[in-house]
Amino acid sequence: MKKVILSIFLSASCVAGAVAQEVQDLEVQYNPNSLNPIPLYEQHYKVRVWRNIDLKEKQNKGFFAKNGELSKLISDAVKSGELADIYANDSLTTKISKEDFLGRLVAEQAAVYDQWDPNRDWYTDDLTTYNGKNYRALRDNRGVTPGAEGTDEDWAVTSQGSGIEYQVADMSNVHMMEDIIFDRRRSRLYYDIQAVEIIIPGAKTNTNIDVSLGWFKYKDLEKLFRNNIPKAVWFNWQNTAQNKNFADAFLLRLFHGTIYKVQNPDDETIDDVYRANGRPYREGVWAREWTEVQLMEKEHNLWEF
């Protein structure tokens, strides 16, 4: 009887161990951030690249049609709570809050330079939007009697005014991180998009430095696109009968993105490498295009497997 119980116990332990090992193997073999993960044992070749997609570029205008902008859909989804997970960087481990995201959207904060004093100048600074552009309004209220009818004392005396968000047209750059994987079983190259970052170019900011609104897992974005079919429309300006969902447009590679970084031990961009060697900027631009050509040649050579 004892032998039977011991045998059952050992069998159960083996089964539990096998299940635990299988779960662990799945976590190791499959990338949790991939939309259609390819197991590690079937990956003959893999390289991670980062691309810069200018949504105002002619080939990318389908993602940036008037009132149907990709960046607007994403920012609206964050505001509504439909898109909850926002990440600080492309590691996709550290999250930022919704409030932090909304704070990054503020282009400039209005303020009152000075409160009322009869012996001093009184200037009120405010921001306003007209015809899709932001303007600064500076009002000179010298000589106005406090409390007099028709004065602006009530709204002007404040320490901080309202802020104005960046316009949708300002959110015109996207950074994409993706894995290029050659599947040995299917003998085919796959582009596995991992994450997307919304960028406000430095030309539109006060500091002339790019502003990152945050990184998003592409798995979350793909779900957002599928759930918002009337809004997530890639506009085909040559044939509107063939408009597509953003998710399908990404799947079909209907965009142009310049590679600005390839995974490397120093985590340097292509421009960083050339600047460190004292090379002129134009050589960094050529290197980006040359990197794309090298990857195409690599794909061609992998067809032999």
Q: How many C-beta atoms lie closer than 10 Å to residue 267's C-beta?
A: 8
More confident residue, 139 or 115: 139
79's tokens: 């505001």
Buried b (16+ CB within 10 A) or exposed e, 102-127: eebbebbebebeeebeeeeebebbbb
- For the chain, the structural domain boundaries read 34-106+168-302, 111-161
Is the separation of the CB atoms in 277 and 283 below 8 Å? no
Backbone φ and ψ of 248, nearest 5°: -70, -35
The torsion of the CA quartet 143, 149, 155, 159, rounded to 10 degrees, works out to 40
Residue pointed to by tokens 């980062």: 50
At 265, which amino acid appears? P
Return the pLDDT at 109: 61
Structure confidence at residue 36 (pLDDT): 92
- Give pLDDT, residue 37: 94
Q: Which residue has the tokens 């116990």?
A: 9
- What end-to-end distance do the CA atoms of the chain give, in Å? 57
pLDDT in tens, 73-119: 999 999 999 999 999 999 999 999 999 999 999 987 655 444 444 44
How far apart (Å, rounded) are the C-alpha atoms in residues 143 and 109? 27
